[in-house]
Amino acid sequence: MKEPTKKNGLGTIASRRRKAVRVKAKSRRSESSRQWLQRHLNDPYVAAAQTDGYRSRAAYKLLQLDEQFRLLKPNMRVIDLGAAPGGWTQVVAKKIGNKNSKLVALDILPMAAVPDVDILCMDFTADDAPKKLKKLIGGQADLVLSDLAPNTTGHSNTDHIRIMALAEMAALFAVDVLAPGGTFVCKFFQGGAQKEVLDLLKRHFTKTKHAKPAASRAESSETYLVAQGFRR
């Protein structure tokens, strides 16, 4: 994997822009699909991921969060929830090293191997998941990452409730497996169902902050919640 040019943890992404691609309208393609494809093809983070060898543009979100909050350190025990296709996993594996560290990537979807990473194809909400993961990492985790997002229905209110329910389950999982002083990072969407998750995290962490990395699309309500200083 190519090392990205160092600038704000993500390389000079803006300077890597390619010539704009225009997607022509086709009778079998909806206008919304055409616009999505055109945006994707012209996304500088998509191009950068291809150049730097990351499996997804999401890798730059974690690089930017790490630069802001200093999340990743050598010899950590990390659990990556919703890991597929593996962009975040690649970033973590490189940052924490492989001498005394442990990284487990988990998803219900199959995921190609990443060196020195244990990959599990399972549901983290299963009753025995915390026990299995703690056994695999050799104790409690220092960091739990969640870039989880459910399949959407197209109904904004329903989708928001499902997204926040998943965030709450990830938070409960983190509370179960984290070591004292640990950190939890979770994808979050602004809206009316967020209070329960925030209240839960504020009870268990000394600091909770919202962050929207530059790699997160401006038009998206997506943000990330970083909870640090876990206390039981």
Instruction: Assign 139 to helix, strand or coil.
Output: coil
Largest CA distance in the chain: 57
Count other Cβ atoms within 10 Å, centred on residue 140: 16
Q: What DSSP character marks residue 194?
A: -
Count other Cβ atoms within 10 Å, centred on residue 87: 21
The verdict on whether 187 is a catalytic residue reads yes
Q: Name the active-site residue from 187, 195, 202, 212.
A: 187
Quote the CA–CA distance of 116 and 197 in Å, as a whole number: 32
Q: How far is CA 177 from CA 15, 42, 138, 157, 168, in A?
A: 41, 40, 11, 31, 14
DSSP strands (E only) in the chain:
77-81, 102-107, 118-121, 141-146, 178-189, 205-211, 222-230
Q: How do the residues of the chain divide into helix, strand and coil, expressed in percent and rounded to 5?
A: 35, 20, 40
Q: What DSSP character marks residue 213?
A: -
Instruction: Assign 16 to helix, strand or coil.
Output: helix
The residues assigned a catalytic role are 187
